[in-house]
Every structure is written in C-alpha cells, then in structure tokens.
Amino acid sequence: MMAMKRWKFWLGVAISVFFLYIVVRKLEWAGFVEALRNANYWWLVPGIAVYFVGVWARAWRWHYLLRPVKSISTRTMFPIVTIGYMGNNIYPARAGEVLRAVILKRREGVPISASLATIIVERIFDGVVMLAFVFINLAELSHLTNVSVAVGTWKFGIQDLAVWGSLAFFGALLVFLLAAMFPKVTEKLVTQLTGRFVPARFREQVLGVSLRFLGGLESLRSPLDALMVFVTSLVIWLLETAKYWFVMHAFPFNISFFGLMLMNGVVNLATTLPAAPGYVGTFDAPGIAVLEGYNVPNGIATGYTIVLHVALWLPITLLGAYYLAREGLKWDDSLRAETVSQP
C-alpha cells in the first residue's frame, strides 16, 4: 500500500514537472516580470472574499449531502472543509479529501466510507459543471487560436479534454445515480461481487465498508435533491469564476466572463490529473494556453495565471492550517496513519 502511494506521488511530481516545463520553455520573461511588477494587487481582496463565499457554499453542499447520514450544521462543516482543501494543497494524492472525512468521524462519528461517498459525489458534480463551462463556450472556442498545450508532436487540446472528461464524469454520475435509485439491487450486486472476488477473511470488512459507502449516496435518490446539489455546484463555480474576474482587473487585459468560465473549466478538469500537491503545473499550463487563445500576451497570461494560482492556494491553506490547530490536531503520526490507511 505504501509503495503504491509513493508511486502515485512520484507520478504526480513527474506530471507537474512536465507541465512546468511547458510553461517555462516558452515564457516571455521580460513581459512576465513587468506584468508582476505593474499588477494592482488590491484586486485580490474582493477576489479572495468572493472565493470564501464559495467555500461556505461548499460547506453547505456537504451538509446537504450528509443529511441522510447525519444532520450537521454548515457552521460545523466549514472549518472541516477548509482543512480538507488545505490538505489537498500541501499533501500528496489529494489526502485532504480523506483528511476531512477522518476529522468528521472524530468530531461527529460519521463513518469514513459514508463521508467519502459524499465527497466523491461532490467531485463528480464539480466535473459535470466544469464540462458545462467548456461546452457553453465550444462555439467561441472554435474561433480561438493556440488553445492547446503542445510538446513536439504531442498536442493536448481542449476538445479532447471535453470528450474524455464527458465520458469519465457523466459515466460516473450515471453509475452513482443508478446505485442510489436502486439500493436493494446495488446491495445485492455488491454482496455477490464481494463473495466472489474478495478473500474470505476480508469479506465482512469490505462488505461493511461498501454498504456504508452506499449509504452516503442516499441524497441522490431524490431527483430534487440531485438537482439541488447540481445548482449549488453551479453557484460554487460561478463564484470561483468571479474570483478569476476580479484578479483579471489587476492585469492589463480584458476577456469576457464566459471566457473566464472556459478557463476555469479547462484548468480544473486538467487538475484531475495526478500532480504534485497544489496542482502545480496542471493548473498553470492549460490556463495560460486558454488566455493565449484570447490573444493575451504570454508574459501577462503567465503572470495572471501564477498570481491567480497563489491567490487560490494560499488563503485557504492558511485558514485550513488555523482550523486544524484550533481543533487541537496536528499532522502527527496518529492522524497521518489514520488518513493514509483509508482507501
């Protein structure tokens, strides 16, 4: 298990280095330095403020998804959500997702498997919204130039990202919806598969975890609840796009809000790839490519994307670290072992 996690970590580092190479090899250094020097950083203040409104909406969404398991207030969920995003930003392999499930179990007694089910549902709906942002702009995308990341003969296009992302996220959403709508059939299938493929000494434990995981999908059984989760996800990502818009005003370029929605969709779909902690490289290279497609000069596009990345990374990381300390928890051996031991 530990060998597998180390392998994933180094794969993520390699992918981040690859994307950083793409950024650096064509960077116009003079324009980049000038963009950073002349930026009006006061625009980051409203951008960060609106971003944290979105984080509060994320906490409300998690509260909503967990209601069938246990009703927990949004006020209680907010610190745990920030801790989770801090974990994603500084620990490898998106450990923050498991970390917030572990902390929720410690505080509220919610089974980790049920929490992880709701977290995966969150990620699926996030992916669906990101794809919607891309598809809304496909007509405009066809008129843009240089909207791809290329190294030699290899080219990573946004259309390819949309196609493969659609297969992944819509396929996963369909599976989860069917599992939620037909719980008895799903439980029977899981029991049969567990009995057939899992060694006898692990069957009871695996089956228990699987059934608790399915319990975390109860919020998807109602079409109205599923619609509510989708609408909340849409609001969350529109608020994050608003942050992109505010930060844009710190730099000497202007593109439409829809263009920033496209950038938001592309970079967040790209960050589903394995990467070093904080989505280094996988956020930056696609974001710069989109802006260059709108004819934003490379130096300005790079300066904006780097500053935006830091503004997305640093505040939530600091707040999450504060809440982790306030919980009286440390990233010590016991918490680390409890987190990394989860599937």
Give the residue carrying structure tokens 């680390």: 336
**Other CB atoms within 10 A of residue 208 CB:** 13
How far apart (Å, rounded) are the C-alpha atoms in residues 192 and 182?
16
Report pLDDT for 332: 56
How far apart (Å, rounded) are the C-alpha atoms in residues 78 and 63?
9
How far apart (Å, rounded) are the C-alpha atoms in residues 315 and 309?
11
Report pLDDT for 5: 59
State the pTM of this model: 0.83
Report pLDDT for 228: 92
Q: State the amino acid at position 247 in one-letter form.
A: V
Report pLDDT for 183: 79
Q: What one-character DSSP code corresponds to residue 295?
A: T
**Contact of 125 with 270, CB cutoff 8 Å:** no
How far apart (Å, rounded) are the C-alpha atoms in residues 21 and 25?
6
Give the residue carrying structure tokens 């396929």: 171
Report pLDDT for 143: 61
CB contact set of 110 (below 8 Å; sequence gap of 6+): 66, 69, 70, 72, 101, 104
Report pLDDT for 151: 40
CA atoms lying within 13 Å on the CB side of residue 167: 5
How far apart (Å, rounded) are the C-alpha atoms in residues 301 and 286?
11
What is the maximal distance between C-alpha atoms in the chain? 65
52-69 exposure pattern, b = at least 16 Cβ within 10 A, e = fewer: bebbbbbbbbbbbbbebb
How far apart (Å, rounded) are the C-alpha atoms in residues 31 and 298?
7
Report pLDDT for 174: 79
Q: What one-character DSSP code corresponds to residue 43?
A: G
Report pLDDT for 1: 44
What residues does 148 pair with on adjacent strands?
Answer: 157
Report pLDDT for 81: 96
What are the residue ranges spanned by the domains of the chain? 2-340
pLDDT tens series, the chain, 343 aa? 444 556 666 777 788 888 888 888 888 999 999 999 999 999 999 999 999 999 999 999 999 999 988 999 999 999 999 999 999 898 877 788 889 999 999 889 998 888 988 898 898 889 888 888 887 877 666 666 555 544 444 455 556 656 666 677 777 777 877 877 787 888 888 788 887 777 877 777 777 767 777 776 777 778 888 889 999 999 999 999 999 999 999 999 999 999 999 899 888 888 877 777 888 888 998 899 889 888 999 999 999 999 999 999 999 999 999 998 887 766 654 555 555 555 4
CB contact set of 186 (below 8 Å; sequence gap of 6+): 178, 179, 214
